[in-house]
Amino acid sequence: MDLPRIFTIRESNHRIHNPLTADQFATLGASLRLPAGTRVLDLAGGSGEMLCTWARDLGFTGTGVDISTLFTAQARARAAELGVADQVEFLHGDAAGHVADQPVDLAACVGATWIGDGVPGTVQLLQRSLRPGGMMLIGEPFWRQTPPDEETAQACHATAVADFLPLSALIEQFQELGYDVVEMMLADQNSWDRYTAAQWLSMRRWLDENPDDELAPEVREELTTEPARYARYGREYLGWGVFALMKR
């Protein structure tokens, strides 16, 4: 049980596996106005940067769950580095279907709504761990501009235009599910650059160190084509944000 190797090769040097910066996550955490001692469940939380830094800066406690052995190890190391290993724990496992043993104050899935087969299912999954009156965080792509055709959508790593919604329609979807949107933090083109472009150097370093690996041709093809594709399509059409929700 693990992520595909190509994903971990791309993101092996990332602390944050989505297009928000450390400063944006710090601003988001403070904007939620939650007290020290807030209990968090972070599903598909990657290398644990959000949970670890919020534990250090805001006094939160909690658990992160991720399917990647590499990212889980990185999260545990980061917790030790920041001196919060007594406040947070990281479990290697499939976040799909994971429910906290005790209700939490904040339940999050930041950029991995496939664990619930989409936004509605992920909202339902997080709600199962959330105390009454608690808050959830959903990270999700949206279209900055609606692609003119399916080819453009696929160049943004969607399977079809219908995979994502415009920002206003995504917010309306949350509302239709019975939740108030009470905060949000949106990626911008610069934060997208920091997330995406950093993958190119990771892939190049890996290729230099592993020229005979069976995955090398796939990594070489991606490194050759992805920078221009991102500049032409992803940077212009694809948005991303984290949305704080409270059940009505």
pLDDT tens digits, one per residue of 17-54: 999 999 999 999 999 999 999 999 999 999 999 999 99
pLDDT at position 91, please? 97
Q: DSSP for 178-237, please give it.
A: TEEEEEEEE--HHHHHHHHHHHHHHHHHHHHH-TTSTTHHHHHHHHHHHHHHIIIIIHHH
Tell me what pLDDT residue 2 has: 74
What is the average pLDDT score of the chain? 96
131-190: per-residue pLDDT in tens?
999 999 999 999 999 999 999 999 999 999 999 999 999 999 999 999 999 999 999 999
Indicate the pLDDT class of residue 1, thresholds 50, 70 and 90: low
Which residue's structure tokens are 């999260």? 75
> Residue 122: how many CA atoms within 13 Å on its side-chain side?
25
Percent of the chain with pLDDT over 90: 97
| Res 241: pLDDT | 98
Task: Give the pLDDT score at 29.
Answer: 98
